[in-house]
Chains A and B, each alone.
Chain A
């Protein structure tokens, strides 16, 4: 390692101001700080010196995402193999999954990275390590069948309009990965929702197995008619709680396995990177809203309203959203009290949009985006209340 550090330090003179490659300093800086902590540190004064800089901070989120990603790759492949009636052993599923996932990941990083570097070079800021996380999250929240040009378009919108026009990581107010996905969702609804997009069918149409439907549990649940119960229909279609918990069903690439997401959540909470207040708040909000629906909706209403909280937590992108998206430290509010409010409202809104908005089968993405918009306001109100409490003490 010493050898690498010496090599890098020797090259630094070309990149600092006045050097030949001065313009490309952000690139050098990115390579340098990904290996070693920065050389620009305070020498004197009462500062807290900690090795946890933004890069180390973000890399923990990436680590937390790894189980989800690994399982997502396997599951995307598995669903394709199942639909085609092909061999479903682990190796062939993973290979098939890699064939689906790697192009999406590569395009995300190539195109998103391109914008990052362009902005870093021309605006003279450092390459934001936040992109590493956005670039990991984005491929996990798209359906496996997404065309690659849409991946490029979505991540471009997310990075440029969602983040870079505000000056880069830490200055945006919406989660960039979610912004990109919402943009795609509203621009190309046919590619982002419906029954056909969640499983890549690799074989010819007539060879697809008869039992294959491609519908996600949420889509099935939303269409259940009055006399039947949702749980009954889901069970009939082969979905059970344990099946939903482990995640072997069709959906966005990374969202299906609650187990892997919980592993990531454990790491985020243990290291203090992700706010447990937001996560717990969201779960509480979701449970609360589902219970309200369960109790107050009459017998004639949608059976979906009677579905219990546990099912709601297991289905769709709820867990993924609240663990990895809602806890984004940039777009979430900063104060402890506002984190609770923010989390609760995300849970409540997600269930409302999911159950009583026929336009969208899933509500977590939109609920988080909406609360991102309200986050500064929640912070402001909570802060004002605190200030008001203190004023009498001062005077």
Chain B
């Protein structure tokens, strides 16, 4: 139990996907103009990550890794070269489901997210979470917690960013820095502040 809490806190604060690993920046920078849209996208990412990481764990565990096919009678088969393509297809399928559901039940959010909703499929943080899960050899429960809390870390970062950008409406940014430039600077300053957590070891 302590293990799982440890993983969760680590994934949310110390190894925040966005502010410590800098994964998933594109939709973070593009969809953070207001808190409502941002929290919608953030929730979608939590959902997709929370499902794909354990799902990919199962695929990896029972089909892909070396010796995984022993239960079928092929102990020497190594399908791990298929990891990337399998992970990405799972993610794409999940994103498709989220898209269909969102279009049906929350058309306003669907419209405001626009192209960035299907683009979650190529959001590096989601593939990143699956790959971290494989690399760190998490078990099933660990993978689930890791997926959900990584998603939550991403959610927290994008919502905070959106709140800051709402405040920035009153800023008077030099012309050359407007839009993308100032967002990168804000992200940098945010991750400077998030350095507060780096180095904490729990329990």
Contacts and interface: CB of A to CB of B under 8 A. Distances in A.
Interface of A: 123, 125, 161-162, 165-168, 170-174, 179, 182-183, 186, 349, 352-353, 356-360, 363, 366-367, 369-370, 372-374, 376-377, 379-380
B21 interface: no
A353 B13 CA distance: 12
Contact of A171 (B171, B193, B198): B171
Interface string B38-53: 0000000000000000
Contacts, number: 93
Given A183-B192, A367-B196, A372-B193, A165 B160 contact: no
A337 B183 CA distance: 28
16 contacts: A123-B172, A165-B174, A166-B173, A167-B173, A174-B189, A179-B189, A182-B195, A356-B202, A366-B196, A373-B189, A376-B164, A376-B166, A376-B167, A377-B160, A377-B164, A380-B163
B109 interface: no
B81 interface: no
Contact of A357 (B166, B194, B200): B200
Interface in B158-203: 159-160, 163-164, 166-168, 170-174, 177, 182, 185-186, 189-190, 192-202
Interface SS majority for chain A: helix
Contacts of A161: 185, 189
A366 B189 CA distance: 12
Nearest to A123: B174
Interface residues of B, number: 30
Q: Which residue among A162, A165, A182, A360 has the maximum number of chain B CB atoms within 10 Å of its CB?
A: A165
Contact of A370 (B164, B172, B173, B193): B193
B164 A353 contact: no
A373 B173 contact: no
A370 B194 contact: yes
B91 interface: no
Contact of A373 (B190, B197, B199): B190
B195 A366 contact: yes
B164 A173 contact: yes
The 5 closest A-B pairs by CB, nearest first: A359-B199, A167-B172, A366-B196, A376-B163, A377-B163
A277 B178 CA distance: 35
A125 B196 contact: no
B163 A379 contact: yes
Given A165-B177, A165-B182, A167-B171, A174 B166 contact: no
Contacts of B189: 161-162, 173-174, 179, 373
